[in-house]
Structures are given as structure tokens and as C-alpha cells.
Amino acid sequence: MSRLDLVIFGATGFTGKHAVMECARIAKKKAGLTWGIAGRSQSKLNAVLEEASKKTGEDLSSIPVLIADVGDEESLFAMCQRAKVLVNCCGPYRLYGEPVVAAAVRAKSHYVDVSGEPQFIESMQLRYDAAARAAGVYVISACGFDSIPNDLGVVFLEQNFEGTLNSVESYISAHVAGEASALARRHGVVHRGTWESIVYGVTHRNELPALRKQLYPTRLPDFFPALGKRTIHRKNGAWCVPFPGADASIVYRTQRELYTRTSKRPVQFRVYVRLPNLVSLVALLFVGFILVGFSMAALTRRWLIRHPKLFTFGAVTDDVKEEVMDNTHFQMELHGEGWEKGSDETAPPNKKMVAKVRGTNPGYGATVVALLHAALTLHHPQRMPPPGVLTTGVAFRDTDLIQRLHDNGLRFEIVHK
């Protein structure tokens, strides 16, 4: 039986449903694209297709439905045998991701996901990179809001810099526009599945140094000037704090890998959240304090997972509305600094450039657009490096993915030279 171009696993979940709808829209424009959906429940998968048909106006009755369960290794293997690229939307990945990666590598199917969990991602590199290379397949995590905008944003900035880029500071901001802001206050802006992944990421954050030491036993040489890490600070009238997501981890791995492969000077990177006022800053710091403190014990960790609305002032719920998501706009503003071409790189940097990456619906709109176009890029990997467990920046830097994302609502642009 011939393989489908894409199979979306975890299609009945919150992110999976949005991936199904986006795939239906892409398939309408891309003649000949074959795809299917997979999960544990036939009836729920059929209901997802019916819902997507109504919302997109496409007849999806002929889309193949595959039954697979993370607790059944052979069902995962059979599913992956049907896929050229397996799109995994079944998280938290720390709990459910590894069996799917293992099955994809075994079945010689490329694999992408939207994990924002550095411990899972780096563990998969340690355990499956050699096997993926031997199988001739790509395993690429973090193909969503975590972390394509920043990882490929640094690549984009470097490609346009026309010199040597030494450092990038990225500032993330988001807002809910218009009348949807009132709806956001009542129903939240982040789904609890994303929150659960964050909780597990914070819980196991201390595992990262040991993983890094195994991945990279030798330190990078020191590069000057070194990019310092800011704490709470002001920039352009906004309050800014370090962003605790996966972006810094992913960009570090990209730059470390490119240095190893090509001896290219690695770009130093820091990422911050930009907040509009002091009240927002205090609220975020309070949630962060509760998150770190409560994640340390099993009992309080369960409270965090079961009652996210309580601990996030209503920001995380099970009932995020489509109108809110469709009116949530985000941007990454990447401030790059380095040297003009031919300059003395022992002297202070003499060139600056700012890039922006912006879009709508970061968690479930721009994320599934990035995820599916990353998956489609794997169909023609001529301009990609050799297979293995890679970051988005290493895998896609020489492809047309940035341009295709730009053409599909995830805008990349240079705003200041």
C-alpha cells in the first residue's frame, strides 16, 4: 500500500483539530496531496473530519482514518508505515512522544512535532539521532510557535546581515485585538494542553545540564563581546523579562550544530517577553513564582494541571474561543549586532539590524501553518543537510520554508538596518 504524504497523529486533540483544518485548506491549493488522520478513537476521528468539513467547506469524507495508540507499539509502527511524514500533535511529549519517534524511525517515516519541551527534544537527539541517520529520516521537533519564529528568525537575520552577526536579542509581544479582548478575559487565551507541557518542562528543567553535557561534551570557545543576560528591564517603554520557553534551547542547538559542521561563528541569543505595563509584569512574575514553586512536589503539581485557570488569573482554560485565537497577534522583534563585511572582529561591533517575525494565533494558527509547511518541505529535501534528529534552523535554513511561511501569514521582514 502506498504511503500518504502526511499523517496527523493526535488529530482529536486541540492542536490536532487545528492541524486537520489547516491541512484541508492546504490540500485544496496543493493538487495531489494525500493525507490522513490518526488517533485512538474511530468515532472521535470521524467527528473531527465532520467538524473540519463544516468549517472549511471541503468534503473530507474520503480522508483515511488510522487507529493508533501510544500504548500499542505495533499500532504506531503500522501508522508510520502509512506516512511519508508523521505529524505528531499528541502531547505532552515528555509523556507520549518517545514511542511515536521510535515508531517513525523504525518505519523510515520523517517526523515533525510542535513540542516546546527541551528535555524531551534533547533526549530524542541523544537516543535516536544515530538510528534516524541510518534510516535516512529527519526527526524535527519544535516546528510551531516554539520555536520556528525565533530559530528561523535568527537564520533570516543572518542571511540578510551582509557581515558577521555576533548576537541577537529577541523580544516577544502579543495582544488580543478589538472586542475579542473581553471574550479573552472570560474564556482565556491559552489551552490547558499547552499549560501542562509548560508545567512538566519547569518540573524537569534541572535535567537539561546533564543532557547538554552528553550532547556536547566539549565547550564552545569563548566569543567576544559576550552577550550578557538581562533580568527585568525596560525597552521602548515596555517592561521585559526573560522568556522561559524552548526558544533559547533550540537556537543554542542550531548555532552549536552549525559551528560544529561548518565552523561558522555561532550567534549568541537571548529572548525576552515584552509586557505593556507594570500590572502585567507583576501578574506574570506571580504566576511564574507559583509555577516554579508548585511544580516541585507531586501534589501541588497536580493542582497546577487540574486548576490552570485559578493559577493563571484565567489565562489558561479548556474553553479558549476561536474568535479570541483569531484576534491574537504576536511578533518577535530580533535585534542583531555584529560587524560589517571585512571589518576587524576584534574591535567593537559596528553594525546593527532588526528583523520582525509576526503572525496571528500563535498557539494554534501560526503554529499549525509552520508545522504543516515544515512537514511538506521534507517531501523534497534536496537543499537539506543529511538526515538525523535536527533543529528547524539546521534542517530548513537553506530551503524555501521561510518564504513559504511568509506567503502564508507568518511574516519575516527586515525593519531596520
**So what's the pLDDT on residue 389?**
98
Sheet of strand 268-275, all strands in order from the earlier edge strand to the far edge: 233-235, 238-242, 268-275, 163-176, 328-340, 351-360, 411-416
**So what's the pLDDT on residue 193?**
83
Looking up cell 548555532, which residue turns up? 255
**So what's the pLDDT on residue 204?**
82
**So what's the pLDDT on residue 330?**
94
Domain 4-140 listed as CATH 3.40.50.720: yes
The predicted model scores a pTM of 0.94
Q: Among the listed ranges 99-103, 207-211, 263-267, 299-303, which one has the minimum average pLDDT value?
A: 207-211
**So what's the pLDDT on residue 190?**
87
More confident residue, 236 or 374: 374
Which residues is 83 bridged to in the sheet? 4
Tell me the C-alpha distance between 258 and 277, whole Å: 38
Q: Would you list the domain boundaries of the chain?
A: 4-140, 148-362+407-416
Confidence of residue 24 (pLDDT cuts 50, 70, 90): very high
Looking up cell 491574537, which residue turns up? 328
* 75 upstream amide cis, omega within 30 of 0: no
Q: What is the mean pLDDT of residues 113-138?
A: 96
Percent of the chain with pLDDT over 70: 100
Cβ(259)–Cβ(265) below 8 Å: yes
Domain 148-362+407-416 listed as CATH 1.20.1300: no
- Other beta carbons within 10 angstroms of residue 319's beta carbon come to 11
Q: What is the mean pLDDT of residues 79-85?
A: 98
- Other beta carbons within 10 angstroms of residue 406's beta carbon come to 16
Q: What are phi and psi of 184, to 5 degrees?
A: -65, -40
Cβ(180)–Cβ(283) below 8 Å: no
**So what's the pLDDT on residue 3?**
95
User: Helix or strand or coil: residue 48?
Assistant: helix
Q: What are phi and psi of 411, to 5 degrees?
A: -80, 130
pLDDT digits (tens, 9 = 90+) for 212-246: 899 999 888 888 999 999 999 999 899 999 998 89
